[in-house]
Amino acid sequence: MSMIAMTVNGAPVNREVNDSTLLVEFLREHLGLTGTHVGCDTTQCGCCVVHLDGVSVKSCTVLAAQAAGRSVTTIEGLADGNELHPVQTAFREHHGLQCGYCTPGMIMAGAELIATYDGVLDEHVVREEMEGNLCRCTGYHNIVRAILAAAEEIKGPDAVVQPALAHAPVSAPNRGAA
């Protein structure tokens, strides 16, 4: 057991945890932040993506102890009070979710993607970069549409290079791997 301290959604937290405690377990079971989901045990689905010092990580592949002294943002911390983050708003307006299970990870990964590319995105880049996030409802078309819309909202119309959406399938993992 070790005592660890970190900042979660802007607030300092400290807890005693087993050395083997995963960050996702810490968030869900120690802090009650159940918006971060677990959708697999193979580091493939991306349902568990959070931001660690502003970078997307799959929190099922990070030990809680590895986050000690660092800043974690979860889906619960993305909105500004009652004002949703533009990516959250875009998912709602563009129907970027069906059952919603993958949605927290999709939104966290999408928000970091927009920041990483300074909002300059096209459909191809979004599909490539989001391949580490899987949607079992296969709602990829509207998920991509929502991320592009959020990029435009955040950065303006020039940000989205090719807003026209094709229906190309999305492949598999890896963005967000720790």
The answer to whether 87 contacts ligand FES (rule: CB under 6 A) is no
Contact stretch for ligand FES (CB under 6 A) within 45-53, 83-91, 118-126, 154-162:
45-53
**Measured from the CB of residue 94, what is the shortest distance to ligand FES in angstroms?**
13
The answer to whether 102 contacts ligand FES (rule: CB under 6 A) is yes
SS3 per residue for 101-150: CCHHHHHHHHHHHHHHCCCCECHHHHHHHCCCCCCCCCCHHHHHHHHHHH
The answer to whether 77 contacts ligand FES (rule: CB under 6 A) is no
The answer to whether 110 touches 146, Cβ cutoff 8 Å, is yes
The answer to whether 39 contacts ligand FES (rule: CB under 6 A) is yes
End-to-end CA distance of the chain: 23
Please give the structure tokens belonging to residue 131.
């391949």
The CA distances from residue 68 to 25, 46, 98, 175, in Å, are 14, 22, 35, 22
The answer to whether 69 contacts ligand FES (rule: CB under 6 A) is no
**Measured from the CB of residue 29, what is the shortest distance to ligand FES in angstroms?**
14
Which listed residue (6, 23, 27, 60) binds ligand FES by CB under 6 A?
60
User: Rounded to an integer, what distance in angstroms lies between the CA atom of residue 144 and that of residue 167?
Assistant: 10
The answer to whether 110 contacts ligand FES (rule: CB under 6 A) is no
The answer to whether 149 contacts ligand FES (rule: CB under 6 A) is no
Q: Report the interface residues with ligand FES, using CB under 6 A.
A: 38-40, 43-48, 58, 60, 97-103, 135-137, 139
